[in-house]
Chains A and B, each alone.
Chain A
Amino acid sequence: MTQMVDERVANMPPPADAAEGVSNRIISPTRLMWWKFKKHKLAVASGIFLILAYLATIFAGFVSPYDPASRSNNLYAPPQGIHFKDAEGNFHLQPFVYGYEMTRDLDTLRPVYTTDTDEIYPLRLFVQGESYRLFGLFDADIHLFGVEDGYVHLAGTDDFGRDMLSRLVYGAQISLSVGIISVLLSLVLGLVIGGISGLYGGMIDSFIQRVIEAIIAIPTIPLWLGLAAAVPRDWPPVYQYFAILAVLSLISWTSTARVARGRFLALREQDFVTAAKVYGASQPRIIRKHLVPNLMSYVIVTLTLAVPNIIIGETALSFLGVGLKPPTVSWGVLLQEAQSVQIVQFYPWIWIGPALCVILVVLAFNFVGDGARDAADPFSR
């Protein structure tokens, strides 16, 4: 109901030049943007998807049925299907998975799995399973879903019999957080450097712009490779993670800096800034009250569109073996498996899972960024 009222107010024509022509609702510019964003259905759906994905990474231990490192006897097992009807045609209200039966192909010694329709493992919500630490603080052993006896591998298992679904969820912790943190780093760098460039102009501006051009001109992947290769191999995983973060943001700040500079240059010439100068507002005050608030929406849009690049960057580095290394789990690390022809050919679930995750998240970020850009554009109606 309130939404309907909101839309009516948003679509109202501007009031005439009379004091009483103004509607009684107070609508902030942020609100107007939110309404415009809501009209972009794909962006809203992508936004919800991303929120769920990030929630899953926060509660990774709870969402994933197993520990990403725990091994089982089912090596290279394909994904199990979820069933409601059993082999005899009886309908079960509770979904279940069938167990595996493994045989070896005597020519190639490859494990061949067939479903064993006699073994039925019903899926349950909130089952007790392997213990994990939530947020690294609380010990817990309740999982979102699982089976009480037997096993469930909805996305299959890898060469050590580790559950791929659990590995994907834990991998998302690294892959998704790399995007956000490194984008925040480049936000700070880009705002400060781009701001200085746009505000002071002249020699400083030329210098900063030439440096940015030089950085952009270097092909990204070789530069990343070079920098990432310089990270010592014997560092603990956490250090390596932050080193990779720094490497990734070292390049992505340049686009933010350019947007910030462009907006500063444009805003500097706006009459409301001249007015502030004329009534004696100090330079820091003008920056804080007049420039930065008007610039943020644009910066947020560039950042949203920059996240996918970072995620792909991390994936690429790890895939090439210079990013993160096993036992750390990230989507890039998981994709390393796709370097083996055997896996590409016979065990596709091992690489399709992480590849699909990367594609979906990158697409979702792009849709959200698109919607945000349209919403922040004052000229779109």
Chain B
Amino acid sequence: MSEHTTQTATPILSVRQLKKHYGGKKPLFGPAPNPLRAVDGISFDVIEGETFGIVGESGCGKTTLGRCIARALEPTDGQMLYRPKDEKEPVDLARLKGKALRPYRLDVQMIFQDPISSLNPRMTLLDIIGEPMIVNGLAKGAEVKRRVGELLERVGLRADHMSRYPHAFSGGQRQRIGIARALALNPRVIVCDEPVSALDVSVQAQILNLLQDLQTEQNLTYLFIAHDLGVVEYLCDRVAVMYVGEIVELSDTERLFDKPLHPYTEALMSAVPEANPYSVRQPKILEGDLANAVNRPDGCHFHPRCSYCVNRCRTEEPQLRELEPGRWVRCHRAEELSLSGASDTLVEGVEA
């Protein structure tokens, strides 16, 4: 597998064959069980300043992938080549540990899904947002206070909120606090793990706009994990679609939504509810559950749920290949199939 990029720009982060397996250790007696392959050999490049989306069903491994990249988890195998600001040579974040990793931790931060559990209920906002600076020796005393005030204002809260506790804030406000904490270290890459899925739709839009504004102000790179395709279409430059720990399709957002190449992507898009009362489209409802990440089906992992499945799919595992420049797909029949994207169904609906 080679570079999955179209742009000639040098990537800020290159993930290569990243794996995170759970279990599978040989017990005292008997054979070793199959490991749970939460992330199994994922490769992609992220360009500085872009928003790279990762979508998939619950349990497909997208959160595990994000946590590996932020190094909240230690990857089992693979590389994560990160290009620091002033250095030419990339460093492999997957291999570093402890002290050696610390300087790069500043550059990769994380925003979480759950606005309740992501903030320590026993700390004031000053402590919550100030702690990253204190831990990394970036500021002390009054300086911390000043910068926390600035950060709060930048995310749309008031500086005098800093002596309050998280329970005094609503979900959207808490998410802003989480964003302020992530910004406290002036990171370059932020892993956003479904940052708006727990919020009301009206609040979602505010948070997404805030994220966009911050991106342009500070030239941030986002790794945006989501299952809401509408949010992904709105925010992301490129999207990777994940299924049981693997990327099944990777493309720029526009072409992906226009004409997906993988049957799974098509099914995801047809599941998006439509605000068009005249639409007569038939959603392609996937049968069965997400494949078991411990015992995956032979051949293409998606074949038991795929309506385009042929014999080859049952036996031969497809590889991720570049079908068009910048469009990667893991499907034997990608050339022959003509799948409908999100805008297709919309056009059909209008005509009907």
Contacts and interface: CB of A to CB of B under 8 A. Distances in A.
Q: Real complex partners, A and B? A: yes
Interface stretch (B141-149, B165-173, B275-283): B165-173
Most buried by A among B67, B123, B156: B123
Contacts of A278: 70-72, 105, 108-110
A282 B131 CA distance: 12
Contacts of A32: 167
A283 to B, nearest CB: 10
Contacts of A281: 131, 135
B42 interface: no
A89 interface: no
Contacts of B120: 272, 289-290, 293-294
Contacts of A327: none
A279 B132 contact: yes
B165 A272 contact: no
Interface residues of B, number: 46
A352 to B, nearest CB: 46
Interface stretch (A22-30, A146-154, A193-201, A237-245): A22-30
B262 interface: no
A21 B108 CA distance: 32
A270 interface: yes
A378 B121 contact: yes
B102 A280 contact: yes
A13 to B, nearest CB: 10
Nearest to B122: A293
B118 A272 contact: yes
Contacts of A378: 121
B203 interface: yes
A277 interface: yes
B121 A29 contact: yes
Nearest to A31: B165
Contacts of A277: 72
B157 A279 contact: no
B170 A14 contact: yes
A137 interface: no
B208 interface: no
Given A16-B170, A22-B164, A279-B136, A271 B70 contact: no
Nearest to B135: A281
A270 B114 CA distance: 9
A280 B169 contact: no
B135 A22 contact: no
B161 A28 contact: no
Interface in A290-318: 290, 293-294
B309 interface: no
A46 B22 CA distance: 50
Interface string B92-117: 00000000001001101110111001
A28 B171 CA distance: 18
A115 interface: no
Nearest to A14: B170
A113 to B, nearest CB: 60
A26 B135 CA distance: 26
A136 interface: no
Given A17-B170, A274-B72, A279-B131, A29 B161 contact: no
Contact of A275 (B106, B171, B181): B181
Interface string B1-31: 0000000000000000000000000000000
Nearest to B133: A279
Given A270-B117, A274-B72, A289-B123, A279 B172 contact: no
Interface of B: 67, 70-72, 102, 105-106, 108-110, 112-114, 117-123, 127-128, 131-132, 135-136, 156-158, 161, 163-165, 167-173, 178, 181, 184-185, 203, 206
19 contacts: A15-B169, A22-B164, A22-B169, A28-B165, A29-B121, A270-B117, A270-B118, A272-B118, A272-B119, A275-B110, A275-B181, A278-B72, A279-B106, A280-B135, A280-B136, A281-B135, A290-B120, A293-B120, A294-B121
The 3 closest A-B pairs by CB, nearest first: A17-B172, A271-B118, A279-B132
Given A279-B105, A279-B185, 18 more contacts: A16-B170, A17-B206, A23-B168, A26-B168, A29-B122, A271-B113, A272-B118, A274-B67, A274-B112, A275-B112, A278-B70, A278-B105, A279-B109, A280-B135, A282-B135, A289-B120, A289-B123, A294-B121
